[in-house]
Structure 1
Amino acid sequence: MEPSAEKENQSKLRAALEVMHECFEPSEAVETGRDLVEDVIFSRVSKLKRLNFRGFFTVILEENDNLVSVATVRVYDNRVAEMPLVATKHGQRHRGMCRVLVDELEKNLLKLGVEKLVLPSLPTTVETWTNKFGFSRMPDDERAKLLKYTLLDFQGTIICQKLLR
């Protein structure tokens, strides 16, 4: 990557991190003391399997060169993708920007042959994901099928899924 492109990429990732920090409480990994959100955004590698965030992509939606909404996504063997973090800037909420971002992400995942999109939802946002975005709560038997993947999960979240077709 050219130095100017790399510089722009890093700048956009830092802006994405700011939006995530605006929307989520900081969460540090006990083992490393590092910010989990930052590690995911920058796709940092670790020898510890559950802290290895290699393969994460940060997807951003901009409006007039301003970052509006951001999501993190990782695809596993073209069957399952996880989207553990999604955020929209406070001043940009309730304008359908998250919907635009998720719709575009789903279209691209379909092109890759991904069958299922999974996300951990706060109990307060499950209704939004299920009623407005077409996700459903993942039953325990379905969740057991995903144990081979190192999905990012947070304490107190509810795993939701959406079949992409």
Structure 2
Amino acid sequence: MAMIYYGTNVSRACIFCRGRTFLDEIQHVPLIACEQCDRRAHHSCLNTVGLQEDPSRGWFCTSRCATLNFLLREQMLNSPIKINIPVLHKQRYDYLTWSLLDVTNDTQQAKIQETIEVLGTTFSKEVAQRVVKGLDPYRGLYTAIAESQGRVVSVTTFRLHDHIAEIAFVTTVLLRRRQRICERLMEALENFLKVLGVEEIVLHSTSRALPIWTNTFGYERVPSSRSFEDYNILQFESTITCRKFII
């Protein structure tokens, strides 16, 4: 399944002056990006409102983003967490673990490469590389993995926007599908997001996968009246935006 990213103008607009002018593009005027949600701002606008970038931590557009970034980094330091509800595999119960990847951790490079390979079985290898490593246009994405006996079996990537979580890419290894592994990982992730104060989850679904998200995972199609223009939500060709309230 190939979902083609086609971007959003909002992510490239300054959150203070609400624009990026044609002159900006011609003169290559840079916008600084929030380390957490990837919203952008002109350096000059930051100076105008009296905000500064911290060279040691980067820039966060709100205190909420700074707090979320800290809590997510803390979670990355934890050992894989056991998922208490097992899945059935080869006529035995298999207990999974889940964790957040830290792409800056040299000791996790083998696990990161394994995750890229798993994600690359559903999406292109190039997209998988950029997603897991958080490179443009996927800055700010975090990667949650489910493991069985030390092997990555499911991957979910997400980004946080204040009290909204965006699920961007989801996959499970081919031989372990239809075993509710993705469901277990999503449940664990939802419980973690609740602790972070997330109230709503949005995701992008193909029309083929829509019944799975609505019937199995409890999502609904986002009504046309709902706008995400204040958030740096990814956009994909031929997908349907769904949501789920978890409060």
Same fold per TM (> 0.5)?
A: yes
* C-alpha deviation, 1:37, in angstroms: 3.2
* C-alpha deviation, 1:36, in angstroms: 3.3
- Indicate conservation of the 8 Å contact 1:119/1:161, yes or no: yes
Q: Distance in 2 between matches of 1:153 and 1:108?
A: 25
Name the counterpart of 1:64: 149
SS of 2:155's partner is strand
Match of 2:243 among 158, 161, 164: 161
Q: Distance in 2 between matches of 1:8 and 1:60?
A: 16
Q: Distance in 2 between matches of 1:69 and 1:164?
A: 22
* C-alpha deviation, 1:152, in angstroms: 1.6
Name the counterpart of 2:82: none
SS of 1:15's partner is helix
Q: Distance in 2 between matches of 1:22 and 1:57?
A: 19
The question of 1:87 aligning with 2:87 is answered no
2:153 maps to amino acid: V
The question of 1:152 aligning with 2:243 is answered no
- Give CA deviations for 1:6-41 in whole Å, capped at 9, x if unaligned: 2332222221111111112x28xxxxxxx3332121
Name structure 1 gaps, 5 residues minimum.
28-34
* C-alpha deviation, 1:105, in angstroms: 0.4
- Indicate conservation of the 8 Å contact 2:117/2:128, yes or no: no
Name the counterpart of 1:115: 199
Q: Distance in 2 between matches of 1:13 and 1:134?
A: 30
* C-alpha deviation, 1:117, in angstroms: 0.5
Aligned residues: 145
- Indicate conservation of the 8 Å contact 1:84/1:153, yes or no: no
SS of 1:109's partner is helix
* C-alpha deviation, 1:129, in angstroms: 0.1
RMSD: 1.8
Match of 2:131 among 40, 50, 63: 40
Q: Distance in 1 between matches of 2:241 and 2:184?
A: 22
Q: Distance in 2 between matches of 1:108 and 1:94?
A: 24
SS of 1:85's partner is strand
SS of 1:160's partner is strand
1:67 maps to amino acid: V
Name the counterpart of 2:115: 16
Name the counterpart of 2:106: 7
* C-alpha deviation, 1:111, in angstroms: 0.4
* C-alpha deviation, 1:153, in angstroms: 2.1
Q: Which runs of 4+ in 1 moved over 6 A?
A: none
1:105 maps to amino acid: L
Name the counterpart of 1:131: 215
The question of 1:76 aligning with 2:161 is answered yes
Share of identical aligned residues, percent?
33
SS of 1:39's partner is helix
Name structure 2 gaps, 5 residues minimum.
1-103
SS of 1:69's partner is strand
- Indicate conservation of the 8 Å contact 1:81/1:118, yes or no: yes
- Give CA deviations for 1:136-159 in whole Å, capped at 9, x if unaligned: 0011111x1x11111122100000
